Amino acid sequence: MRTTARSRRLPAALLAAALLAAPAAAAAPPAARAPAAAPADPARHLRPVPGAVLRPFDPPPRPWAAGHRGVDLAAPVGAPVRASAAGVVHFAGPVGGVPVVSVRHGPRLRTTYQPVAAVVHAGQPVARGQVIGHLAAGAEPGLHWGARVGAGYLNPLDLLGRRRIVLKPPAG
């Protein structure tokens, strides 16, 4: 088969056209993609402890990078920690020496509470507001409350519905 200049350019042109037609989201880095969406009914969740936010949600720019994948809420050691919504205990036990309780709310949403000395066990159904444990002493003050939708992290405060918006001055 004889190769001409035109037949050599055709595959390159097809490749360039395919790359240009590819959706931009597929090429965007994970940090540029939209965050995980909150479940449709945020009114069904409540704060696991009543305290103020000590450390806000600060997602990492990449899944493997450092960040704060939840919020820290003020509460004294020994305070009751409540399930934010009805669900089934997915896990209750130590992770890296820290006592953790994780509750699954439907097929994709999971909330996590730490450090919490559990009074529940894996597989146990829990009601909205039910005590799932008591705040244990930890390296950081208060309760760390996290949320995941599928593989993505979500600001758990978004599960509560509307929240106060705080504007920050531009960096720099």
Question: Average of pLDDT values for 21-27?
Answer: 36
User: Considering its fold, how many domains does the chain have in total?
Assistant: 1
Would you say residue 45 has pLDDT above 60?
yes
pLDDT at 31: 37
Share of the chain above pLDDT 70, in %: 71
Cβ pair 77, 51 in contact under 8 A = no
With beta carbons less than 8 A apart as the criterion, state whether 116 and 100 touch: yes
Summarised one tens digit per residue, pLDDT across range 131-163 is 999 999 987 889 999 999 988 889 999 999 865
| One-letter amino acid of 1 | M
pTM attached to this predicted model = 0.70
Q: What's the Cα-to-Cα distance from 68 to each of 27, 84, 90, 103, rounded to whole Å? A: 25, 19, 22, 19
Domain that holds residue 158: 1-172
For residue 27, give both structure tokens. 């090429």
Between 88 and 170, name the one with better pLDDT. Answer: 88
At 90-135, the pLDDT tens digits run: 999 999 999 999 999 999 999 999 999 999 999 999 999 999 999 9
Q: Which domain CATH number covers 7?
A: 2.70.70.10
